[in-house]
A and B are shown apart, each in its own frame.
Chain A
Amino acid sequence: MIRSVLTDIFLALAVLLVLASCVGLLVMRDVYQRLHYVTPVALIAPLLLGLAVLAQSGWSESSSLTWLALLFMIVAGPFLTHATIRAARIRETGDWRPGHGREDGQSRDAGRAGGRS
């Protein structure tokens, strides 16, 4: 009984977090703001999901493989976010370091929104 309640709670939290983050992703203005909403999806929701599987089936083959998949996500998420921010900065200014690139805000993406080919 307690296990199923815990599973429901963890799953509901994970789903709410994912949906809220997706809405946040859509309504934010630029890529830097949007990247903040990747972290809950890539870090916190997998943790909640792993806890839900653990509460449902205990330590088993299912839960160990679940934690393995989620471990990859949790470890890779920050690296990927950092690389994405770095790429966005380089596309925007030509260099990721402050003071080395052009600071005129002429991004390579300027004028391309909605018109990519």
Chain B
Amino acid sequence: MNVFVVAAIAMLAGVIPCGVLACRGTLMDAVVAYETLSAIVVMVLVLLAEGFKRPGEFELPVLLAVLMFGSGLVFVRFLERWL
């Protein structure tokens, strides 16, 4: 276990406050928690790919970073207009 894997595990602790906020807050709070969570997960995937020395797995965070933007915009658009 190298420093990148340790950092990934430590960073995953940040998921807990986001989960609490997503469960207990308003809908907009949950969206904010989701956006933060997505950013954390992208970084964790980068850390794990680097920590385990698997260059092929760097494509996952690239895809997730692109999808994070699209899905976030879809969420806020729906919340703005219809929900």
If A22-B14, A41-B40, A61-B55 touch, whether A112 touches B46 (CB-CB below 8 Å) is: no
A51 at the interface (CB under 8 A from B): no
A62: which of B17, B42, B43, B58 is its contact (CB, 8 Å)? B58
Range of interface residues on chain A? Answer: 35 or more
Q: Is the CB of A109 within 8 A of B39?
A: no
Question: When the two chains form their complex, are residues B73 and A80 in contact, meaning their CB atoms are under 8 A apart?
Answer: yes
Contact of A72 among B17, B55, B65 (CB under 8 A): B65
User: Is A59 an interface residue, CB under 8 A from the partner?
Assistant: no
- Please report the total number of B residues contacting A with Cβ < 8 Å: 49
Verify B46–A66 contact, CB threshold 8 A.
Answer: yes
> CA separation between A86 and B76, bound complex, in Å?
9
Q: What string of 1s and 0s marks CB contacts (under 8 Å) between A18-43 and chain B? A: 11011101100001001101100110
CB atoms of A26 and B46 under 8 A apart: no
A112 cross-chain contacts in B, Cβ below 8 A: 26-27
Q: Shortest beta-carbon distance, A31 to chain B, in Å? A: 4
Per the bound structure, the CA–CA distance linking A116 and B54 in Å amounts to 41
Q: Is the CB of A91 within 8 A of B28?
A: yes
Asked if A106 is at the interface (CB within 8 A of a chain B CB), the reply is no
CB-based contact B79/A87 at 8 Å = yes
When distances are taken between beta carbons in the complex, the residues of chain A under 8 Å from B24 are 113-114
Interface residues of A in 98-117 (CB under 8 A from B): 109, 112-114, 116
- The 6 A-B pairs with the shortest beta carbon distances in the complex, nearest first, are A65-B58, A76-B69, A72-B65, A87-B80, A22-B14, A109-B26
Write 16 A-B pairs (CB below 8 A) sorted by A numbering: A4-B3, A22-B16, A38-B39, A46-B43, A53-B46, A66-B46, A66-B50, A69-B61, A72-B66, A83-B77, A84-B35, A84-B72, A86-B76, A91-B28, A109-B26, A116-B27
Q: Apart from A8-B3, A11-B4, A21-B14, what are 18 other A-B pairs with CB-CB below 8 Å?
A: A19-B11, A22-B13, A22-B17, A31-B32, A53-B46, A61-B55, A62-B50, A65-B62, A66-B58, A70-B65, A72-B62, A73-B68, A76-B72, A80-B69, A84-B31, A86-B80, A88-B28, A116-B26
